[in-house]
Amino acid sequence: DVKVTQSSRYLVKRTGEKVFLECVQDMDHENMFWYRQDPGLGLRLIYFSYDVKMKEKGDIPEGYSVSREKKERFSLILESASTNQTSMYLCASSPPGATNEKLFFGSGTQLSVL
Amino acid sequence: EDQVTQSPEALRLQEGESSSLNCSYTVSGLRGLFWYRQDPGKGPEFLFTLYSAGEEKEKERLKATLTKKESFLHITAPKPEDSATYLCAVRGSNYQLIWGAGTKLIIKP
């Protein structure tokens, strides 16, 4: 069964801390994505990657960075966590091609920044 | 500006009571409209893709339809296990996805 695994289900951090969210997929997908999901809003794209070592900014990249050293792993980094980054973070992957239609999501990490 | 609006925000139905969820969109150059289901504490799970007006897709009690301005997700004789949040997304000419806020569906036994 195909799987996208996010390392933490719940995370509580302090303002100013550096936070790492890890995502691993076992489907050999080229494309990986980080979204955040907030109540009353649609999913918003933070960063995405179409290949190892490659990254592209999404709609809301400010305050975030990413790392993709291996094909199966895509990490989201909050350089200095702030309270407005409290959110559900969703990682997704998909097969190659910009017009691919199906995203596979992890279960999400609920991050609280105090 | 590309936009996706889902209505209603929440819908409560009795088991067996059929209804429809709406996804209205404005996008330049539609490259696909997508429906996902999201259960509490989980990530979204893909349901359907529709590409052109008039297209329909079905899966068990769900049927998705598409016009030039909106898509409907019809739920026929729903069961409690159909309770979830249903998300709609569109892909425009820049190939990025624009997501609606979702409709939370609750089916009471």
pLDDT digits (tens, 9 = 90+) for B35-71: 999 999 999 999 999 999 999 999 999 999 999 999 9
CB contact under 8 A, B87 and A43: yes
pLDDT value at position B3? 92
- B90, closest residue in chain A (CA to CA): A101
Task: Tell which of A43, A47, A50 to mutate to test the B interface (max B CBs under 10 Å).
Answer: A43
Q: How far is residue A61 from each of residues A49, A52, A79, B33, measured CA to CA in Å?
A: 13, 19, 12, 25
Q: What is the pLDDT along chain A (114 residues), one digit of tens a residue?
A: 669 999 899 999 999 999 999 999 998 899 999 999 999 999 999 999 998 988 999 999 999 999 999 999 999 999 999 999 999 999 999 987 655 578 999 999 999 999
Q: Would you say residue B95 has pLDDT above 80?
A: no
What are residue A93's DSSP bridge partners?
A: A32, A104
Q: Residue B2 corresponds to which tokens in the numbers above? A: 């590309």
pLDDT value at position A100? 58
pLDDT value at position B94? 77
Measured between beta carbons, the chain B residues lying within 8 angstroms of A102 are: 46, 49
CB contact under 8 A, B41 and A107: yes
pLDDT value at position A99? 54
Is the CB of B27 inside 8 Å of chain A's CB atoms? no
Is the CB of A4 inside 8 Å of chain B's CB atoms? yes
Within 10 angstroms of residue B92's Cβ, the number of other Cβ atoms is: 17
Q: Give the gap in angstroms from C-alpha A44 to the nearest C-alpha of chain B.
A: 8
Look-up of token digits 């109540």: A39
Is the CB of A102 inside 8 Å of chain B's CB atoms? yes
Q: How far is residue A77 from each of residues A14, A61, A70, B15, B21, measured CA to CA in Å?
A: 14, 11, 16, 44, 36
Instruction: Convert the pLDDT of each residue in B10-41 to its tens digit.
Output: 999 999 999 999 999 999 889 999 999 999 99
CB contact under 8 A, A99 and B31: yes
Q: Would you say residue B92 has pLDDT above 90?
A: no
Is the CB of A45 inside 8 Å of chain B's CB atoms? yes
CB-defined contacts A:B, below 8 A? 53
Backbone angles phi, psi at A17, to 5 degrees: -70, 155
CB contact under 8 A, A106 and B43: yes
- A58, closest residue in chain B (CA to CA): B96
DSSP per position, A31-93: EEEEEEE-TTS--EEEEEESSTT--EE-S--TTEEEEEEETTEEEEEESS--GGG-EEEEEEE
Q: Give the gap in angstroms from C-alpha B43 to the nearest C-alpha of chain A.
A: 4
